[in-house]
Amino acid sequence: MEPTTVLYEVKDNVATVTLNRPDALNSFNQSMLDDFAAVWAEVKADDEVHVVVLRAAGDRAFSTGLDVKQGRDKPANVWAQGDPGEQLSPKLNRVWKPVVCAVHGMAAGGAFYWINESDIVICSDDATFFDPHVTYGMVAALEPIGLARRIPLGETLRIALLGLDERVSAERALQIGLVSEVVARDRLWDRADEIARLIAVRPPAAVQGTVRAIWESLDSTRSQGLATGLSYTQIGNPIGTAQVDRASVPRSGWTLR
């Protein structure tokens, strides 16, 4: 796999995926859609990958969504057209390895395909979040539907309906639960890597089973989610198999503020 719009590197069980169209504000075109489909297939297939760090090159933006100048390939038959998330989104590609997303600068519109389906989202203090669809007379649906599973409904509707007239700051994103941590810009990539490496040393079966059980429960009733979750604990924690010596588990020593 040699993606052209994405940088991909694996080291110490952490795959670092970097959006690499900074001159286009890391907007996605058909090439990036194809590259991400290949990236997620590689992540799923490579057992050396335990965790993914998702980040973006350049100074101005994490991503501004679809590249409106280049667009993407769309069949003429409307019923054959698909959601870009089918290529971009980790969970739609059934990737159960945790994704730590590091957001800086602008995150707009289609950028939420990645943010909505990441497991831990942090951002730098210069990050802003917004969805311009309605401002341009387009229905905002796919990104807000995913967003409504991360933050309160009222906050989702505010972002969707105010469009370009309001941007969510890093501080506000932390308040509403869109991100779990805000750091200085020059610390963003290092902090995402630190978080990923804390997870990467844990037993992969336990980690991936946890991610899958929680995400799949969002599509179930509470009782269905609990029943499926129970089966995953039995699959992921074989009776009589000690995966971790509790006495040997290191402590990170840091406290989230």
- Chain center to CA of 5: 17
Report the predicted TM-score, pTM, of the whole model to 2 decimal places.
0.90
**Whether residues 139 and 215 fall in one domain:** no
**Whether residues 130 and 57 fall in one domain:** yes
Residues 171-188, mean pLDDT to the nearest whole number: 98
Terminal alpha carbon distance of the chain = 40
For residue 236, is pLDDT > 80? no
Q: How many domains does the chain have?
A: 2
Residue 188 exposed, middle or buried by CB count within 10 Å (0-12, 13-18, 19+): buried
| 79 vs 133: which has the higher pLDDT | 133
Decide: 88 and 116 in contact? Cβ < 8 Å.
no
Task: Flag whether 15 is in a domain.
Answer: yes
Task: Flag whether 246 is in a domain.
Answer: no
| 83 vs 160: which has the higher pLDDT | 160
**Band of residue 70 on the pLDDT scale cut at 50, 70, 90:** confident
Q: pLDDT value at position 128?
A: 98
**Poorest-pLDDT segment among 52-61, 162-171, 230-239:** 230-239
**Whether residues 48 and 124 fall in one domain:** yes
Q: pLDDT value at position 232?
A: 87
What is the rounded distance in angstroms from the CA atom of residue 186 to the CA atom of residue 97? 26
Task: Flag whether 102 is in a domain.
Answer: yes
For residue 73, is pLDDT > 60? yes
Q: pLDDT value at position 242?
A: 56
Domain containing 96 equals: 6-73+83-200
Instruction: State the Cα angle at 11 between 6 and 14, rounded to 5°.
Output: 75
For strands 61-63 and 99-103, give the pairing. unpaired
For strands 120-124 and 106-108, give the pairing. unpaired
Percent of the chain beyond pLDDT 90?
A: 75
Q: pLDDT value at position 247?
A: 63
Please enumerate in sequence order all residues whose Cβ is within 8 A of that of 1, keeping only pairs 6 or more positions apart, or say none: 8, 38, 39, 42
Task: Flag whether 244 is in a domain.
Answer: no
Q: pLDDT value at position 234?
A: 81
**Whether residues 103 and 159 fall in one domain:** yes
**Whether residues 118 and 179 fall in one domain:** yes
Task: Flag whether 223 is in a domain.
Answer: yes
**Whether residues 27 and 99 fall in one domain:** yes
**Whether residues 117 and 179 fall in one domain:** yes
**Whether residues 141 and 212 fall in one domain:** no
Q: pLDDT value at position 4?
A: 84
CATH code (residue 94):
3.90.226.10
**Whether residues 135 and 191 fall in one domain:** yes
What is the rounded distance in angstroms from the CA atom of residue 121 to the CA atom of residue 24? 23
Quick one: which of 46, 41, 168, 25 has its CA closest to 92?
41
Task: Flag whether 35 is in a domain.
Answer: yes
**Whether residues 115 and 228 fall in one domain:** no
**Whether residues 164 and 231 fall in one domain:** no
**Whether residues 226 and 178 fall in one domain:** no
Task: Flag whether 171 is in a domain.
Answer: yes
Q: pLDDT value at position 85?
A: 82
Task: Flag whether 131 is in a domain.
Answer: yes
